[in-house]
Structure 1
Amino acid sequence: METKDVFALLTCVLLIASGGIYGIKFLRKGNFLLGLEWLIVAFSGSNLLIFLLTQSQISYGISFFCDAFSRGFGIPIVTVLGLMAVTHNYKPSKLKDAAIFAITFASTLVMIKSDFMAKPLPYFYVVMWFAYSAYLAYFIARLARAGERLHALGVTVAAISGLIVACIYDFYPIPGDDTKAIFLSIALVTWSYMMIQLYYAFFALERAKACAR
């Protein structure tokens, strides 16, 4: 096993830990949208790790579905709605949370199974990530106005790096990275950082809003 493959495995563990720990933290704080999405990312990482170690096609299929969900709907829609709890006081009921996940899961299934989506799917992912990045720009501005400039900078790094990963995912393979181990490591570290940074930025903004009242 090459060094880059070992690093890819380690970044899988990092993704699992980040999504699991901070997903549970969000759930305990009452934000089920962000908590469950973070746990879905961790679950995807767990199955990816199993696939890399055992070549299990079942684990690959689960990871593939979860990855498609998060890229198409989980991050661009569910995460934005979850962050809107602090930017717009959007706090849906648990029933609405369940409906949001049910609709986005069903949409993901249609998206990956429909022949008409095969060609435009990579472009769809990028468009959705640009929409998510646009909201993050607003979120960053809110952090800056609240005096949380360090968190604003941290989310800016997460937004830019995440957008770069989204753009090169299907379009710009890294030279010499035939197994995608290098790209995988970069992507998983980026997503891990994003989940951790958004957790702390979310509650920093929440505290700043409370102090301003």
Structure 2
Amino acid sequence: MALRELLFLLADVWMIAVGFTFGWKFIRNYGNYLLGLEWIIVATSGSNFFLYAALGGTEESPMYTLAFFFDQFSRSVGITLILVLGLMRVTHRYKPSVGTDVGVFAFATAVGLALLLFGERLGTGVAISLIAVNVLTTLFLIYFSKRLWAIGAKGWAVGAGLATAAGCVIASTYDFVHIPGDDEAHTLFYIGALSTWGFQMFTYYFAYRALHRHDESVGAEPDLREPSRADA
């Protein structure tokens, strides 16, 4: 196995582990199904990607189709709208109803399927639209980092800022930039992308926890779970 292939698999395993671990923690500790399920979806996507790469799948493989769907799901709505709504739990005390949770995931599924079926016909416009929604999400995440800094969680503020910057670079170059020396499978790009997505999920979880603790300390979230449970 070549070094770049090993690094790719390690980056994917990192993202999978982070997604499943902290996705479950979001649900168990905070009852945040938006972030919890999205983290788990990203991890599931990574698991499918791992099998696809390990088994040497082709573009005709069902795993390739599934990977493309998951990719469009998260890039269009998951790590944009769902991420923002989930983080608003600690930035704006926003608690979506069960209907909202179901509705936003149904919307993400519909968008993912639409892009899977019609994305090629829409051409470059899809890629530009995905960059646009990422830019809007980045603006919110800058605000999220500023909130962390304001409450004294400066380490996580810096971490969230770095994760956001790295994620923005990945999103902006995803469809338009080819790394010199990279292969047709874009292995070098995906090493960076998978590592970054894992770093984002890891950092945003602990940044969320910092804001949650602050909200509890000032009585902003009186009906969330006990701090001792959320610290697990």
Q: How high is the TM-score relative to the length of structure 1?
A: 0.96
* Secondary structure at 2:177 match in 1: coil
1:146·1:209 contact (CA, 8 Å) conserved in 2? no
Find the residue that maps to 2:195 and give its secondary structure.
helix
CA distance in 2, matches of 1:37, 1:168: 22
Q: Note the residue ranges of structure 2 that are not aligned, 5 or more in a row.
A: 220-232
Cα distance in 1, alignment partners of residues 53 and 108 from structure 2? 27
Report the alpha carbon displacement of residue 13 of structure 1 after superposing the two structures with TM: 0.8
Kindly provide the amino acid, as one letter, of the partner of residue 44 in structure 2: F
Asked if structure 2 preserves the Cα contact closer than 8 Å seen for 1:112 and 1:118, the reply is: no
In 1, the alpha carbon distance for the partners of 2:45 and 2:203 equals 20
TM-score (norm 2): 0.88
Q: Please tell me whether the aligned partners of residues 68 and 116 of structure 2 are also in contact (alpha carbons under 8 angstroms).
A: no
Does 1:189 pair with 2:190?
Answer: no
**What is the RMSD computed on CA atoms of the aligned residues?**
1.2
Percent of aligned pairs sharing the same letter:
38
> For residue 201 of structure 1, what is the aligned residue in structure 2?
207
Moved more, 17-26 or 105-114: 105-114
Q: 2:88 aligns with which of 84, 98, 110?
A: 84
For residues 81-135 of structure 1, what are the alpha-carbon distances to aligned partners after superposition, in whole Å with 9 as ceiling and x for unaligned?
Answer: 0000111111112222011100121122113322552221111111111111000
What is the CA deviation profile of residues 9-41 of structure 1, one whole-angstrom value per residue up to 9, with x for unaligned ones? 111111110100000111112000000000000
1:53 aligns with 2:54: yes
For 1:180, the equivalent position in structure 2 comes to 186
Q: What is the match of residue 76 of structure 2?
A: 72
Matched, 1:139 2:144: yes
Q: Note the 1:1-213 alignment, pairs <5 A.
A: 1-28=1-28, 29-56=30-57, 57-114=61-118, 116-178=121-183, 179-213=185-219
Structure 1: gaps of 5 or more residues: none
The runs of at least 4 aligned residues of structure 1 exceeding 3 Å deviation read none
